[in-house]
Chain A
Amino acid sequence: MATRRQSAPATALARDYGFTAVDDYDTRTYILPYLVDPESRAKIIAEHRANPRGAAAQPGVKPPNHSDGLKRLIDKLRMTPQAGKHTIVEIVPWQQYAIGILPGQRGGVIKITKERYATREDAEHMIFLKRLKALLAHYHIKL
C-alpha cells in the first residue's frame, strides 16, 4: 500500500495569501474604525438589535437601509467560512429556535447547541454578537 503524502506546493499563492492580505487590509481600514470606539460599537450593536433581518419599506418613510458601519460589518461577518459557522435551527415552529454550528461540508453533522431563543430575530442577533466577538478577538479588541 502506498503511504506517500502528496502535498501541494507550499507557496503563498497556493494558500490564497493575496485574498487574506487584502481582506485584512479592508477590515482594518473600513470596518475596525467603527468598532474600536465603545460608543460607536454600541450604536452599531443597537442598530442591529432593532432590525437584525431587515424590514419592509413603507410609504412615506425612508427605506430601512442599515448604516454604512453596520453594512460593512455585517457583510464581513456573513462571509465567515462555513465550517464552524453559526446557524439557526427550528426547534418548535414560530416558538423556539436553537443556535446550531455548521460542519462546513455536505454529509457532516450540524451540531445543535443548548441555546434557545423565542424568535428568529433574537437568534439572529445573538449570532451577530458571537461573530462580532470573534472578529474583535482576532484583532485583540475586547467586546
Chain B
Amino acid sequence: MSLTQEMMLRITGYTDKCSVRPGDELSFHIHSEYNESYEAQIVRLIHGDTNPDGPGFKEKLVRAPVNGKYRGVNQPLYAGSYVMVPHDSRLDVQSFTLCAYVYPTTPVVDTEGTAVGVQGIITKFNATTGQGYGLFINEQGELALRIGRGRGKFDEYSTRKPLFRKVWYKVSVSFDAATGEVNIEQIPFVTITNGGHGMSMVHPLEDTAGSVRYRGVKAPSRSNDSPLLIAASTLEPHSGRQVGGLHFRHLDTPWEIPVHTHKFNGKIERPKLANCALSSAQIELLLASAGMENVPGELRGAVVGAWDFSANISDNAASTHIVDASVNTLHGVGINLPVRGVTGFNWSSDYMSFRHAPQEYGAIHFHDESVDDARWQPSFTFKVPKGLKSGVYAARLRVNGATTADCEDYVPFFVRPPADGPTARIALVMAIHSYLAYANDNLSVNSVIAQLLTGQVPLLQPGDLLLNKERGYGLGTYTSYRDGWGVNVSSRLRPILNMRPKYIHVLSPSLWQFNADLHLVDWLEAMKYDVDILTDEDVQREGVALLKQYQVLLTGHHPEYMSEQQMQAYHDYQQQGGRFLYLAANGFYWVCQPHPQNPNIVEVRKGDNGTRAWTVTPGEYCNAFDGKHGGLWRVRGRVMSKLLGVTFTSFGLTYSSYYRRAPDSELPETQWMFKGIGANEPIGNFGLVGDGAAGLELDRYDLELGTPHRAFLLAHSEGHSDMFVTVSEESTFNSRGYIAAGTGDNNPKTRADIVYYKTPNDGATFSVGSMAWCGSLSHNKYNNNVSKLTRNVIDGFLKNGPLP
C-alpha cells in the first residue's frame, strides 16, 4: 500500500434522511474502502474544532442498540448522467438510422487536458460483451459507429474528422443490413448564438465536417439485453441498483439501472432511432421535429424512438421522465440528474427562460461526474429514541475501532424536537442547503485561484485524499465539471466529506460551514441555553408556522443558500414579531431550489452577477427545479439587507480583525446589549477563525439596499488586510485606489457592521455581518466580549414584552 493510500480515509457514508424526530428511523449507507469491518456509535456532536487553542473536540456518546460492529463493504459510486430506455426487443434493430443534434464539450480532452476517451451518444451496446450497436465519439474525437461482433469485439466506422468543443452538430449514421452500407455524417450547425460561448464561424468547414460511406459492413449481433442509453453505453446491464420513488416517483415499479461507461460530456437534442437506413432527406425530416410532429406518415412507422427533451418542460424542467414521442412510447429516465432546461441547437437568444420558449430549450446537458444518489445498500438503521434531545448528531465510524483520522468518519444528521411541539424558546437553523452548495468542492486539488483567495497552501486531510480519488463523489456548486460547466446540482445522498466535525476547510484559515457552525452549538450548550435544532429542509417544508413557535431564532455562520420558501419564512417570522440573530455574513445570498420531488437535492445557477465560482452559459439563468431566475436574491428584489439590515460587502478568506463600538451602541434602545463591555473596548480581537471575530466574509449596512430606516449601527470592524477584496456585485467599474473595488487597506466599505433594528409586533433583528463571530465565542473559557454581547442580546430577546 502506498503512503497516499495509507493516509486516505477508508470509511465513509451518508444517511437517507437529514432531519429526523424522535420515533423516526434513518438508514446509514456505509462504504468501507478495503472491505474492513468497522464500529458504529451514535454520538451527539457539540464542538468539532480540534484546535488545541480552543475547547477541543466534544462529543457525547448516545446509548443505542445500533451501536456495534459491522462488516464493511466497498460500495462503488456510478457517477455520470445519462438517459436510460429499458431493454425492449424493438430496439434490437438490424438495419437502422441514428441521428441527433450534439454539442460536445470534451470531444477529446477535458479542461485539465486529460483524455476523456470514447463517449456514447445513442447506444444499445454492451461494451463488455461487444454486442449491439451505437453512435459514439471515438478516442480521436470523431463521430463513430460501433457494431458489436460479440466476445468483446466490435467494428468501428468513423467520419475521420474531429468534432470541435462547444459547436453544435447534426449527426447521423445509417446502416443497411441488406447492402452492408454505412453512411456516417457530422455537419456543424452553427448560428451566431446557439453555441453559447463557442465560436460562431467554423471556417474552413471541412476541418470538422465529415461524411463517409463504408461498404461490406456486417450486421450487429442480433440481440442483447442492454438498455438503450443516451450519453453513455453499458458496461454491465444489471447493476443490482434501482431507481424509483422521490424524483423517479412517476415510475410504477422501480427500474434497474446498468453499470454504465463511455460517458459523454455535452448536450444532446432530438435523438432518434429508425429501423431502416434512411436517406439524408429523410434524416433531415426527422431532425426537423422535436418529437414526431412534422414527420410524414410514410416515415412514422420506421421510427423506433424519438426522444423529445422539450416535451414535458412545464413551469419547471425538473422531471426525470424522458418522453418518447414515437408510436412505441419507449420512454426513458434521466439518471444522475442530467441538466434540463438548457439552450438547444436552435437557441436564438430571444428568450432567457425555457418557460417562455421550451422549443429552444430542447437539449439536455450531460456530465460524466454528476451524482443524484449514490444508491448504496443500507448498512444499518437507527430509530431515534423518544426523549432524545434535539441536537446535531452523527454515526461515528471507526475501522476496526481505530481512532486515527484515516480510519474514522462521522456521518451527521439532525434531530429536531418531537412533533407535538418545541422543547425550547430558542431555535438554531442548520444550513443544510449551504452545506450542500459547498459539498465536496475539491478546490484544494483543482483550483489554482484558491491559494490566492486564501493566502495559503491548502491542507489536505484523509477525506480530501479519498474525495480526489473518487472525483468528488459528484462534486458541489463551487466546482466545475471536467468540461468547464459549473456544477449546478448537489445531492445529500452521497458522502459529503467537507461536512464533517474535525474538518479544516480550504476556504478558511480554519473552519467553514458545518464544522464552524458547531462553534455556536458548543457555545449554546456551554451557556446552558435550551435550543431546538432545525434545518433548512424543515423551514423549506413548514415555513413560518415552524419558525414562529420560537421567540428567538439563530442562524449559523454562513446561511448563504436559500430557497424562495425559506426567504418568505424568515420575512414572515420577522413581520410576525420573531426575534432573529444573524450571527453570520453573506447569508440569504444565492437562490437555491430543492428538487420538487426530492428535498435531498438542490439546484443553484450562478448568473452574471455575484461573487461566484462560475457563470452560467448564456440563456441558462433559470433553475430547472422551479423555472425561476437563479443567481442572486439581490437581482430578484430580495437583497439580504432587507432581511438582515446588512449586505455582503467584502471577503478575505484569511486572518480576521476586530470591531469598534459605534455611537448608536450607547443609546437607550441599545445600551442594554453592551452591559459589561467598555465603551472603548475592542470587540473580538481573538478567536478560532483567523484569530478575530470579524473575518472571512463581511456585511455592511446600506440604506440604498433596503436596510430599515430605524436601524442602529452598534459596531464596525476595521483593519482588514489587503487580502480582503470588494464583492463583484458592488464593483460596477473596477479601478485602482480608494473605494471602488478596493481592498482592505483602501476601501472603507471593507468592514463588518453590527446592526440592530426592531420589526413589527415586538420583533427585532441583530446582525453581526461576519462569518468569524461564532469562532470567538469560546475564547478565554467563554468569558469574553463576543460571548457577552451575544448573551446579552439573546437574554434580552427572551424577555417578553416590548424591547427597550
Task: Point out residues on A near B: beta carbons under 8 Å.
Answer: 1-2, 4-6, 52-59, 63-65, 71, 74-75, 78-82, 86-91, 93-94, 97, 100, 102-112, 120, 123-124, 127
Contact B465 A56 (CB under 8 A): no
CB of B596 to closest CB in A, whole Å: 30
Bound together, the chains give a CA A65 to CA B654 distance in angstroms of 12
CB-contact partner of A123 in B144, B457, B504, B695, under 8 A? B457
Q: B442 to chain A: which residues have CB within 8 Å?
A: 106
Q: Please, which residue of chain B has its CB at the minimum distance from the CB of A111?
A: B4
Q: Tell me the nearest residue of chain B to A1, going by C-beta.
A: B156
Please measure, in the bound complex, the distance between the C-alpha atom of A106 and the C-alpha atom of B444, giving whole angstroms: 11
Contact B445 A103 (CB under 8 A): yes
Given contacts A107-B468, A127-B457, 18 further A-B contacts (CB under 8 A): A53-B455, A53-B509, A54-B654, A56-B690, A57-B656, A57-B718, A57-B719, A58-B719, A59-B682, A59-B685, A59-B719, A79-B448, A79-B449, A91-B7, A93-B502, A100-B460, A106-B112, A106-B446
- B39-84 interface (Cβ within 8 A of A): 50-52
Chain A residues lying within 8 Å of B682, measured Cβ to Cβ, are 59
Quick check: A56 and B685 within 8 Å, CB to CB? Answer: yes
Measured between beta carbons, the chain B residues less than 8 angstroms from A112 are 3-4, 7
Measured CB to CB, the closest approach of chain B to A9, in angstroms, equals 9
Q: With the chains together, A55 CA to B652 CA distance in Å?
A: 12
B761 to chain A, nearest CB (A): 39
Nearest-neighbour CB distance to chain B for A95, whole angstroms, equals 10
When chains A and B are docked, how far (Å) is the Cα of A124 from the Cα of B452? 14
User: In this assembly, does B459 line the interface, its C-beta being within 8 Å of a C-beta of chain A?
Assistant: yes
B692 touches A110 (CB 8 A): no
Q: Return chain A residues, CB-CB under 8 Å to B455.
A: 53-54, 74
CB–CB A55/B655 < 8 A: yes
- Listed stretches B134-142, B219-227, B347-355; interface member: B134-142
Beta-carbon contact of A6 and B509 below 8 Å: no
Q: Are A56 and B657 in contact (CB under 8 A)?
A: yes
User: Which A residues touch B369, using CB under 8 A?
Assistant: 106
Stretch touching chain A among B257-265, B284-292, B720-728: B720-728
Pairs of residues from A and B, 3 with the lowest C-beta to C-beta distance, nearest first: A57-B719, A56-B691, A6-B162
Query: What secondary structure prevails in chain A residues at the interface with B?
Result: loop
How many residues of B sit at the interface, in one of the four size bands? 35 or more
Q: Which residues of B contact A63 (CB under 8 A)?
A: 657, 719-721, 744-745
Q: Is A90 in contact with B721, judged by CB distance below 8 angstroms?
A: no
**Cα distance A64–B722 in the bound complex, in angstroms:** 9
**A88 surroundings in chain B (CB, below 8 A):** 457-460
In this complex, the member of B142, B442, B456, B472 whose beta carbon has the largest number of chain A beta carbons within 10 angstroms is B456
- Nearest B residue to A5 via CB reads B140
A2 and B471 contact, CB distance less than 8 A? no
What is the CA–CA distance of A65 and B652 in the complex, to the nearest angstrom? 12
Nearest Cβ on chain B to A48's Cβ, whole angstroms: 11
Whether, in the assembled complex, B658 has its beta carbon less than 8 Å from a beta carbon of chain A, the answer is yes
Taking A88-B460, A97-B459 as contacts, is the C-beta distance between A102 and B445 under 8 angstroms?
yes
In the complex the two chains form, is B722's CB within 8 Å of A110's CB? no
B313 CB–A CB distance under 8 Å: no
Please give, as numbers and ranges, the residues of chain B lying within 8 Å of A94 by CB-CB distance. 50-52
Q: Are B655 and A54 in contact (CB under 8 A)?
A: yes
B744 & A110 in contact (Cβ 8 Å cutoff): no
Give the residues in chain B near A80, CB-CB below 8 Å: 448
Known A-B contacts A2-B156, A93-B405, A107-B469; the reply to A57 vs B140 at CB < 8 A is no
- B142, B449, B718, B744: the one contacting A2 at CB < 8 Å is B142
Complex: how many Å from CA A100 to CA B369? 25
**Which B85-126 residues have a C-beta within 8 angstroms of A?**
108, 112, 114
Chain A residues lying within 8 Å of B162, measured Cβ to Cβ, are 6
Contact B3 A2 (CB under 8 A): no
Whether A104 and B50, one on each chain, are in contact in the complex, defined by CB atoms closer than 8 angstroms, is no
* Least CB distance, B118 to chain A, in whole angstroms: 11
25 A-B pairs (CB sep. < 8 Å): A2-B142, A2-B156, A53-B509, A53-B654, A56-B656, A56-B657, A58-B685, A59-B685, A59-B719, A63-B720, A65-B722, A78-B452, A79-B451, A82-B447, A87-B444, A87-B458, A88-B457, A89-B460, A89-B465, A90-B459, A97-B459, A103-B468, A107-B468, A109-B4, A109-B469
| In the complex, chain A residues whose CB is within 8 Å of the CB of B451 | 78-79
Distance (whole angstroms) from the CB of B746 to the closest CB of chain A: 11
Residue B482 interfacial (CB < 8 Å): yes
* B27: Cβ under 8 A from any A Cβ: no
- Asked if A106 and B51 make an inter-chain contact with CB atoms under 8 angstroms apart, the answer reads no
The answer for the CA separation of A57 and B717 in the assembled complex, in Å, is 10
Which of B140, B449, B744 lies in contact with A4, CB distance below 8 A?
B140
B448→A90 contact, CB < 8 A: no
Q: How far is the CA of A95 from the CA of B157 in the complex (A)?
A: 59
- Closest CB-CB distance, B19 to chain A, in whole Å? 30
Q: Could you say which residues of chain B place their CB within 8 Å of the CB of A5?
A: 140
Interface centre among A86, A93, A120, A124 (most CB of B within 10 A): A93
Report B-chain residues with C-beta under 8 Å of the C-beta of A102. Answer: 445
Is there an interface contact between B460 and A110, defined as CB atoms closer than 8 Å?
yes
Contact between A110 and B4 (Cβ–Cβ < 8 Å)?
yes
How many angstroms between the C-alpha atoms of A81 and B449 in the bound complex? Answer: 10
- 8 A Cβ contacts from B635-658 to A: 654-658
A2 touches B140 (CB 8 A): yes
Does any Cβ of A come within 8 Å of B160's Cβ?
A: yes
Q: B576 at interface (Cβ–Cβ under 8 A)?
A: no
User: What 1/0 mask marks residues of chain B from 478 to 516 whose CB sits below 8 Å from any chain A CB?
Assistant: 000010000000000000000000101000010000000
Would you call B461 an interface residue if the criterion is a C-beta within 8 Å of the partner chain's C-beta atoms? yes
Q: Is B158 an interface residue (CB 8 A)?
A: yes
Contact across chains for B721 and A2 when beta carbons are under 8 A apart:
no
Cβ-neighbour of A106 out of B52, B457, B471, B656 (below 8 A): B471
- B-side contacts of A74, CB under 8 Å: 455
Q: Chain B residues near A93: list those with CB within 8 A.
A: 50, 405, 502
Residue of chain B at shortest CB distance from A102: B445
For B721, give its contact among A64, A86, A111 (CB under 8 Å).
Answer: A64
CA distance A8 to B160 in the complex (A): 15
Query: Would A6 and B469 be within 8 Å (CB), given that A56-B690, A87-B444, A88-B458 are in contact?
Result: no
Q: What CA separation (Å) do A1 and B154 show in the bound complex?
A: 9
In the bound complex, what is the Cα–Cα distance between A57 and B722 (angstroms)? 11
Q: What is the distance, in angstroms, from A16's C-beta to the closest C-beta of chain B?
A: 12
Q: A56 — which chain B residues lie within 8 A by C-beta?
A: 655-658, 685, 690-692, 695
Q: Find out whether the CB atom of B452 lies under 8 angstroms from the CB atom of A110.
A: no
Within 8 A of A (CB), among B675-734: 682, 685, 690-692, 695, 718-723
B110's nearest neighbour on chain A, judged by CB, is A105
Complex Cα–Cα for A80 and B448 (A)? 7
A93 to B50, CA, bound (A): 8
A104–B446 Cα distance when bound, in Å, is: 7
Complex contact B691–A55 (CB within 8 A): yes
Tell whether, in the assembled complex, residue B140 and residue A86 are in contact, meaning their CB atoms are under 8 Å apart: no
CB nearest to B450 among chain A residues? A78
**Residues on A with beta carbons closer than 8 Å to the beta carbon of B472:** 106
* A100 to chain B: closest residue by CB: B460
